[in-house]
Structure 1
Amino acid sequence: MIEYILGKYTEKTPTHVLVETNGLGYLVQVSLTTYSDLNGLDSGKLLTHYSVSVDVRSGESKHQLYGFSSELERQMFRQLISISGISSSIAMMILSSFKPSEFQTIVVGGDVKTLTTVKGVGPKVAEKVIHELRNKIAKDDISVDEHFNSGNTLRQEALSALTALGFDRASSVKVINNLLKSDAAPQSVEQLIKASLKQL
């Protein structure tokens, strides 16, 4: 098992990071929280979770690395995918929609309504997640850097993340533009994507 990767960040996007170490480049899937924590860093250590899935029809296996800036977020990811019906993509969608501290509050408080704002999470799934994790998650405070560059980069990175998550490009552009024109326009990529997820 790969516990962590220490190396240079040669590429960073809201959905993945390319980490170069010892002449090899590792494509690591990340959440918005981890992407935010890596802002301004050229190198560092990512805690990882190695996943192998097999297509039952073709028999082909898919290998993926998921990276996390904190042990708490990795633990939450592992707890989420241990729940029947919660795929890695849904788990990452949840962790991209809420910071670890926010997700803890939602689960501990039994806030089904807020959890259902995540794409792919309906009332039954939200209730199941809360039921399964309520006694496992302790409320802790997590400090996350939320500062990003603004302007066109803000729009482009948010659009890139939304399309990578499977949302229609045209719809994403419309939502992003409307949000940026609003009086309370998001000031970071993370805020912009979270606001967009609630409208798509």
Structure 2
Amino acid sequence: MARPPRFDTDQILDAAVRLAASAGPVGVTMTAVAQAIGAPSGSMYHRFAGRAALLAEVWLRSVERFQEGYLACLHGDTDPRRAARAAARHVVGWSRAHPEEAVLLLYGPWEFGRADWSEEHTGRADSGNGRVYAAIGDLAAALGATEPQDRDRVVLALIDLPLSVVRRHLRAGDPLPPHAEDLAEESAAALLPAAPGDPAA
């Protein structure tokens, strides 16, 4: 009977996340990950076809974990402003809880070799991004943001601005300040248009 593998896929990807957080995507190689977990380099090829597949999987696992909670916030309240504020807070809260994966995601998929990913991996990435932008589009519509500049304000409030709150601290290796979630939420709220019928409109 064959022995079960000593390391499962999540353990391998966990090691890859740590390497990416400390050295960037260039530090994630088959050999470096194998050495980090004490496995023979050749055993990596039983799990991943090559470095491109490893990079794709470590990126996708991280971004899909983030997107799961982010989408739950966007869909979690019938009041679009409350949903938007929750989503802005989630960017910071998730980054606080998962600092290494958050640092990894600051690089972007192209720095993780997206040009060499398989069709299955690029499909997963595009599908996840499509769900996020569709949800943001629905929220923008609920807020009456129909003009391009209004939709851009919603994207700025829910994606770009919360990322700017965490980026400087994460890249410096500093902990996020305790007020970071409040700052992201308050700043996002200031940018959002009032929903139709809202007394604040």
TM-score range, shorter chain: under 0.3
Scaled by the length of structure 1, the TM-score of the pair is: 0.23
Structure holding more helix per residue: 2
Higher relative contact order (CA 8 A, sep 6+): 2
Scaled by the length of structure 2, the TM-score of the pair is: 0.23
Structure holding more strand per residue: 1
